[in-house]
Structure 1
């Protein structure tokens, strides 16, 4: 078993609501002269902005919620002066050297709207770059589990990663894995050896997403909220995310609303054939007791049938330190639960907010 695991959720929230960690966390968002590091420092330094961020619901990452709420309003109000600093809105955004007073003025002017968003919405971040890790992991599983097999994504948000086999993949070395009508290209950023390109996409029998509050990508407002949760000066990711959401709006998938600890058991009862459960940057938000219950659920069910699990999650204190001391703070773990016991293998590591780099060990 891996020596490190995500720290307790309550500790994470305490960290992310502290000024010190907001500053450090901002360092992982990109270059120090990029927009979000400047705004993270501003939230940490300014009493008004810091207190405003703490209007976020308990259990939510306050600084990220404030930046997401403001980004959402900027996307909906592109005529605002603040929009000139957002690469998601302007093709040639202004440098953020003088953005703080404009950002603060925007927050004052839109305070009621921001508080409404902070008190009513939650972070359900997703990223098209995560699809590369899902592809490689499920290709690895397919070689052991047999095809076709069913997949269940825990914390599916808008369900973009359940359609991992609908996208085009560029491995950065001339190798491409393509599919008809792919809405965008996922570009791999590999540290060390580039993994071997899968010959084909794994064949999926049934794909199911589980989420406490599934997002409907057919709603333009929902699509804007999802986009607002990505970093504003990553125009390529913003463009991919929009394309993925518009594509997903036309592709129905099976989504089950509710707590995975309550909905997963009955799903496992009805799914026929091989199955893989996976999650990506999700379980760090769960309390330690819930994570332990999830482990035990899969362990118990594994005594009755073989269950494969892919987890792509932050480890140790990666989130509380913003990943500043670890450029690849997430592990990709493959766990097999069966009558023979529990086996776990490290498949690779993934970067945090900075650039989505991946080290694949397979």
Structure 2
């Protein structure tokens, strides 16, 4: 039996901000939170520069102003906020701050206008794809955005298959999606929209880029350093409903990582490991919360889909079993941070609702 790898790399967190979070944020809430988060990033940069070198403040402000001019109203557009290119840039910025590398810090700031230009071009490609397949997503991979993440995922896949004594295969990025792949994307997005329009809206916000990987050893993945990008193995694109499931799955990781950036979800130490409903290895508690969050959405997707097409009852039963098992683990081990309490309680509430509904069918 061939092992398949799933990888989710969560990003570092900001200081908590006030305000509750719903377990399925609607499009408006997602946009509102992303606006607030960009403001936090900008203010953090200004604060760090002020503390380190007050004379550089004007240079920082000019950089932001120039970036806004170059991209027009880009920063005022919800579709521009927290694009993968921005998160790659921010990751470099955070590393420079962590390493106290002032020269590198200033060089990174100077690249912001070009990053915004890149985002603008990406958004234009997304608009064209929206017109063609109904899904506003960029399918062209930027060399320094997603390729480094793809390499990390390939290494993760190698480690996973090595653990079960299998030989790893090369992982190749699909640079030019075929007409067939574009058609499958169009059908999968239309399927989600037909049964769960709110999720389709969220996919359009939280997933800015899809990277297809030509390998059978990676099912799907996301990476917090290029938040907004999802990675999907080509094997998962053969069946429309399965591709839809994978997009929902990885989009949900992006959503939860975005929420965790603004407010920590749990207080457990990262070294703490427990049983996982989706992985054979023990996982950190935040990883399990991620899995339960994703599974809750897959339960909802298949719950809606089976009402339209009863043949999906099997898939619904499978994700429901995994979800209920995951909720048990979260209830037993997860220690909620203030902002994470409503999220964790919603898992228990949703499980009770869905199980009761299933028992009355």
Q: TM-score, normalised by structure 1?
A: 0.36
Q: Which structure carries more strand by proportion?
A: 1
TM score, norm. by length of structure 2: 0.36
Higher helix share: 2
